[in-house]
Amino acid sequence: MPTYVALLKWSPQGLQNIKQSPSRLDAARKGFESAGVRMKEFYMVTGRYDMVAIVEAPDDVALAKAILGATSQGNITSETCRAFTEEEYRKIIGGLS
């Protein structure tokens, strides 16, 4: 399954209710699972973003549904990108002309 990196930030609404963040994470994880997406890892981080989630999804459509479901609650924003494994990277680079 393709891997994605979700770079997440709390919105003003999410910060206002920060103590509810762990229960929102649990709900997001369940929402992801119902969309066929697996949250492999989750980190709270310092710097430009507040959280990072590593997720696997069968395709971009499933990922989009899961991310939109989570962000539509208004507590977080997401910048999500596809992550390629080392094996995928080598295959891509090896196929260059």
**39 strand-pairing partners:** 55
Q: Tell me the pLDDT of the chain (97 aa) as tens digits.
A: 999 999 999 999 999 999 999 999 999 999 999 999 999 999 999 999 999 999 999 999 999 999 999 999 999 999 999 999 999 999 999 999 8
* pLDDT score, position 97: 83
Q: Amino acid letter at 37?
A: V
Report d(CA 48, CA 97) in Å as an integer.
36
Q: What class is the 3-94 domain?
A: alpha beta
Q: What is the pLDDT of residue 24?
A: 96
Cβ neighbours of residue 48 closer than 8 Å, sequence gap 6 or more: 7
